Amino acid sequence: MKLLSWPTLAASALLATTSGNVLAHDPVFGIGPHVLFKDGIETAIEVAQEKAGEEKESELALEIVYGITGDWAAGIDVPYARKDDGMDTSRGLTDLQVFTKYRFWREDSLGLQESAAVMLAINGQNGDENATPKLGNGATDAILGLTYGYESIKWYRWASARYILPGKNDAGFQKGNKWLVDFVAGWRPKTPEYTKPDTVWLLELNGEIADRAELNGMSLANSGGTEWFVAPGIFWTTRNFAIKAGVQLPIASELNGTQDKSDYRAKMSFEWHL
């Protein structure tokens, strides 16, 4: 029988006993089954930017999450955006999101945790749709998701799927239903120690498959389609503070009609667990 070293045993015990705190990771662009401990609070500041053709959008968001139980968390995301379409620029609050996640399955073993969760999010209609460019789409959207995670001392794996059900705004415009599909791998180069910083390198494959949008029941030709991205990223933690960052680079695009393909998307977040 192979004996485990003391560092490996210590790291295994640490991983098992701190599930739900900062050592439990989620991907940058996809979602994972991570939830907070009961009565835990997570605050995060997120900075994001994306560009497609002449259009560029930058966003700064504040996110607060509360652990209702050890398996159920809920939160709110309040974003402030700046949009530039090459001719006009608008800025202001855009559609806020309320969300909840429930971890319905978890299995722990020495140095390994597997879990799965479901999520529900609602995007409100809080942005200024009269701005040029528009801030939000003036409708309430629902997002349903399912995610699985495998977290060991050395390796991480995640898989998730989300389905977006867009609402219709007062002008009769409705975005197309959309699937978001994510496959993620993570690698920790060094055995973690609680009192020292911890680094996990990430590589994501993100897919978006959207139906055509509609205006008063009529399908819009220049809307919908499929895009795939590869996204390298990093998750760096020290005690109850974490920095998560990544960039999405397009590798395949099949958009309907005349649409600008995505050039890049970047995201960075700063998280505190209380």
Between 28 and 131, the more confident residue is 28
Strand, coil or helix: 12: helix
Residue 232 has a pLDDT of 98
CA-CA distance, 158 to 153, in Å (whole number)?
15
Q: Is the pLDDT of residue 159 over 50?
A: yes
Nearest to 101 by CA among 124, 117, 79, 89: 117
Residue 120 has a pLDDT of 98
Q: How confident is the model at residue 7 (pLDDT cuts 50, 70, 90)?
A: very low
Please check whether residue 16 is in contact with residue 24, taking contact to mean a CB–CB distance below 8 angstroms. no
* Residue 252, burial from CB neighbour count under 10 angstroms (0-12, 13-18, 19+): exposed
- Which tens digit of pLDDT belongs to each residue from 230-258? 999 999 999 899 999 999 999 999 999 99
Please state, in angstroms and as integers, the Cα–Cα distance from residue 162 to each residue in 167, 182, 207, following that order.
Answer: 16, 9, 10
Q: Which amino acid is at 263?
A: D
Q: How confident is the model at residue 22 (pLDDT cuts 50, 70, 90)?
A: very low
- Which tens digit of pLDDT belongs to each residue from 61-81? 999 999 999 999 999 999 999
Domains of the chain, CATH where assigned: 6-273 (2.40.160.40)
Residue 24 has a pLDDT of 60
Q: Is the pLDDT of residue 9 over 80?
A: no
Cα dihedral 33, 99, 36, 46 sign? positive
Beta-bridge partners for 182: 160, 206
Beta-bridge partners for 73: 67, 101
- The four Cα atoms 218, 221, 222, 227 give a dihedral, to 10 degrees, of 110
pTM of the predicted structure, to 2 decimals? 0.90
